[in-house]
Amino acid sequence: MQNNPIHWIDTAIVIVSVLFTICTGFYFSRRQKSSDRYFSGSKTIPAWAIGISIFATLLSSVTFLAYPAAAYKSNWILLVQGLMVPIVLVGLIGIIIPLFRKVIRLSTYEYFERRFGFFARMYSSVAFMLTHFSKMGTVLYLVSIALSSFTHYPVLPIMLCLSFAIITLTMLGGMEGVIWMDVVQGFLLVGGGLLCLGILLFRPVAGPVETMHQAFAMGKIDVGPYNFSLTDLTIWVMIINGAFYALQKYGTDQTIVQRYLAARSDKDAKRAAFIGVFASVSVWTLFMLIGALLYVFYHTGTAFLPKEITADKVFPYFISTQLPVGVVGLVLSALVAAALASLQSDLNCLSAIGVEDYYQRLKPNCTDKQRLNMGRILVFVAGCIMMTVAYLFVKWEGEGILGIVFGLYAIFSAGIVGIFLLGVLSRRANKQGLHIGIATCVVFTAYAVLTTTKIGDHLMLDLGKFNFPHHKYMLGVYSHLIVFCVGYVASLFFKSEPADIHLTIYGYYKNDQNV
């Protein structure tokens, strides 16, 4: 990286940005007088703000750093997952938003309990927590590594300072503060990306049109390979994986569902979801384009890249060496903002799950003030776990951070989409059948992970030709299908009353006909 730390002006811009965010948290802390307001903003937030908040939540340091690295190293194939989201959302959002806003109070997994009982709620909420602790650790790790490379300060002190700011902000501001800070941080993220894009397009002597042509010619703006294979990373793997990712994110993820509940009406919630999705896809594409153009920038003679700079470090190197003083500070502020937006949201939602799914059950007669206090305690606890995971990531090197994140998502998805679809699409499915489906899913996941994970040069479990044969991203897809199919078939062997129609898709169509 640089021989010298960033200019004091850039450092000042980053510090002012963080201080502004903290002051915003203190401003909103005065309003957090009830647990309802702390976790859902008392349903007073406009649709456009919630939409930008969804957008800022879906983006993070992973978007800012890992997407350019993935495009630089390969092509845009990992973007296919994000491109599937709006396609699935069009057919999904009109059903699930009215369902959740009518059926649940706060926790997404309350629906799972009402449909299949206590175990389904606990299983799904634990899977959510495991997924998001791994994601939060990744985000904190990425932004800490990047800031360390710019400032030459050790990673650990930066990680601790960022964690303190994030935990403090989330404890003070609640969901209302999180959403409004997401709005500011979302604009910063987009602004930082556009500044870098402009330089990558107009700095080369060839000009923007020829630069784009070179990116296509080098195969960087492409989503192949296109051959049908579930063993290798092909477009088909990412299409299938992306469809289930969209179902999981928008149908079962607390960070998104909690924003549906914060809207004033079903109509506002739907509008917010579409704003968030289409903005996210646009920005994912922006940062993939940055990665492709970085490859052109350093492979056509515009600038030269030291041999020790790997794909994951190319974008930070570009920022530190090619941007003028002041602009570096703005881009770094966008990077920090992306991390703050994502991590604040995750901490608030993990706290909500802890209070609603666990604390409320252990202490059913607790007061609202006790719920609020426990929510803040759980933010602190979740923040400490986040720091621990991030520290472990410092020592975890592999195929690239985006690949690691997608792999962990596949493992921790735990068949949750299968549970959701089983509950929504079938009145015949029952908890006994679901339990068999979940047990089968757990056994299958253990088999797939053990027969594809290496320790040194050896697989953890080598069954020869019976090892899991497909790409690891398909693991998440299969886990959902196993829970759905096995759970439904197994349900046929147990007598039970049909589920309440209002807990299924059929209640939606019945209400629609009565309007």
Of 189, 191, 147, nearest in space to 165 by CA: 147
Amino acid at 134: S
Q: Taking the chain (515 residues) in consecutive chunks of 10 residues, what is each chunk's mean pLDDT? A: 68 83 69 66 77 77 81 93 86 83 84 93 89 84 82 86 85 71 76 90 92 95 93 93 87 85 89 89 93 95 88 87 87 80 83 90 88 90 91 64 62 84 94 96 89 82 91 87 96 93 80 49
pLDDT in the model for residue 513: 47
pLDDT in the model for residue 5: 66
> Is residue 181 within 8 Å of 173, Cβ to Cβ?
yes
Of 415, 442, 416, 432, nearest in space to 489 by CA: 432
pLDDT in the model for residue 218: 95
Q: Quick count: other Cβ atoms within 10 Å of Cβ 418?
A: 29
Q: Element (H or E) spanning 459, and its range?
A: strand 458-459
DSSP 465: G
DSSP 503: G
β-strand pairing of 458-459 with 454-455:
antiparallel
How long, in residues, is the chain?
A: 515
Burial class from Cβ neighbours inside 10 Å (0-12, 13-18, 19+) for residue 210 reads: middle
Per the DSSP assignment, residues forming a β-bridge with 454 are 459
Task: Give the residue ranges of DSSP H helices in 203-253.
Answer: 208-217, 235-252
pLDDT in the model for residue 514: 46
Radius of gyration of the chain (CA): 23
Residue with tokens 């700079």: 309
Of 227, 278, 358, nearest in space to 85 by CA: 278
Mapped to the 3 state alphabet, what secondary structure does 404-458 carry?
A: HHHHHHHHHCCCHHHHHHHHHHCCCCCHHHHHHHHHHHHHHHHHHHHCCCEECCE
> Per the structure block, which two tokens stand in for 307?
């041999």
pLDDT in the model for residue 91: 76
Per the DSSP assignment, residues forming a β-bridge with 459 are 454
Torsion of CA 133, 139, 140, 141, to 10 degrees: 100
101-128: string of b/e by CB count within 10 Å (b at 16+)? beebebbbbbbbbbbbeeebbbbbbebb
> Per the structure block, which two tokens stand in for 356?
């609603």
> Is residue 146 within 8 Å of 271, Cβ to Cβ?
no
pLDDT in the model for residue 505: 86
Predicted model pTM: 0.83
pLDDT in the model for residue 105: 78
Domains of the chain as residue ranges with CATH: 8-396 (1.20.1730.10), 413-515 (no CATH)
Task: Give the residue ranges of DSSP H helices in 74-203.
Answer: 79-103, 109-116, 118-151, 155-202
pLDDT in the model for residue 181: 72
3-state secondary structure of 59: coil
